Structure 1
Amino acid sequence: MIRPLLVGVAAVALTLSACQRNETETAESPGQTEPVNKAQDAMSAAVGTVSAATLGQTVEGYVTNAAISDMYEIEAGKLAQEKGQSPAVKEFGGMIVKDHTASSTEMKPLVTAAGQTPPTEMDERRKGMIDNLRAASGADFDRTFITQQISAHEEALNLHSGFAQDGGDAGLKAFATKTAPVIQKHLEHVRGMQGAAEAAPAGAAAPAK
């Protein structure tokens, strides 16, 4: 029953992504409206939850999802450094660029040894998330970034933890085992950022951690 659910959820997510791109867009605001972008991100999180639990069960699925996850995190981190309003968001952006660039580099020879070919670009789901970050501005950027990062790291943690336990390639399995704690650290960090932002007075920037 899981795979039909994945297909159905993915179809809705891609429909939202297509709708977003068909709206009038500008270079400064490539996304649609904030409510639609939030709905798209929420649907993306649902797709990611199922994807990590199913597609990541195979070596090919793990390689594809782990590589795309790194690409998304690196791009999102760069945008956070550029557009983030709070020091915490900018700092976290730098952290994930550094850590996910390192994990992507470390994974490449293991992927080759496993006889796999990694993707060279993000899927439509992650492209849509990046578009939503580009469209967000001011405090909305920080909120969108933090929300995306929580769901993205929950997905990545499920992916790496699952493959670390049941993966079919020894080298990639060891990599997943090593990577999962890093993802867990990121997740705990960004959850703390969300808590600090919710506790801060209206209009105040979240403190750096």
Structure 2
Amino acid sequence: MKTTNKLLITATAIFLWSCGGQNSNDPAAKADSVNEAVTDSAQSAGIPMAAPAEDDAKFAVDAANGGMAEVQLGQLAQSKATDPKVKEFGQMMVTDHSKANEELKTLAASKNITLPAAPSEANQKTEADLTSKSAADFDKAYIKQMVKDHEATVKLFEDGQKNVKDADIKAFIDKTLPVLRTHLEQSKSLDKAK
């Protein structure tokens, strides 16, 4: 019965969201909308445990969005970077963020959280901007972007430690945050060397 209620609420939320005139094509915004609709449907049906807490769902969407972007940019660095250290950093981004993305995907599915299918439009624009850089300019621009992205991601995870309610999502944050801090320090070190 509990599974049937979850499925019914999710289906209803997706139907309401799809009929709601959502103008955005942004995958992260769509995932946020689905999660909000699921939460609203569950609350109106009087089934509070069928939907994740709003902060938990928002954190998961934002973390997935950033993680997917880091994988795409890491792949780009592997093919476009001229400095072997930048290529190596790009490989580390692909490896570490792919692993975290898979863990988050499994966790989100168990918590009835919809994640974006692709990075946000802003992250897609960043990738396009980096793709258009000449080989000579790419390495420096990529590493600057990695510093900026990882500063934001570390803050997202630190805020998540305070605001997320679900114990499993908190455990994911606690496990992943040290890796993200290492990425930030390495990107800052590479930036100084450029």
TM-score normalised by the chain length of structure 2:
0.70
The 1-side partners of 2:190 and 2:103 are apart by 28
Runs of 4+ in 1 over 4 A off after TM superposition: none
Q: Residue type matched to 1:196 in 2?
A: A
Within the candidate set 171, 174, 193, 2:171 is matched to: 174
The 2-side partners of 1:186 and 1:168 are apart by 26
Larger Rg: 2
Q: Residue type matched to 1:163 in 2?
A: G
| Offset of residue 58 of structure 1 | 0.9
Pairing 1:94–2:95 present: no
Q: Residue type matched to 1:184 in 2?
A: R
Q: For structure 2, which runs of at least 5 residues remain unmatched after alignment?
A: 1-53
Pairing 1:192–2:183 present: no
Q: For structure 1, which runs of at least 5 residues remain unmatched after alignment?
A: 1-56, 198-209
Q: What is the 5 A alignment of 1:62-81?
A: 62-81=59-78
Equivalent pairs: percent with the same residue?
A: 35
C-alpha contact (below 8 Å) 2:55/2:163 kept by paired residues: no
| Offset of residue 152 of structure 1 | 0.4
C-alpha contact (below 8 Å) 1:165/1:173 kept by paired residues: no
| Offset of residue 124 of structure 1 | 1.0
The 1-side partners of 2:91 and 2:98 are apart by 11
TM-score normalised by the chain length of structure 1:
0.65
How large is the RMSD of aligned CA atoms in angstroms?
Answer: 1.1
Within the candidate set 102, 116, 137, 1:140 is matched to: 137
- Paired residues in the alignment total 141
C-alpha contact (below 8 Å) 1:77/1:96 kept by paired residues: yes
C-alpha contact (below 8 Å) 1:81/1:90 kept by paired residues: yes
The 2-side partners of 1:125 and 1:68 are apart by 10
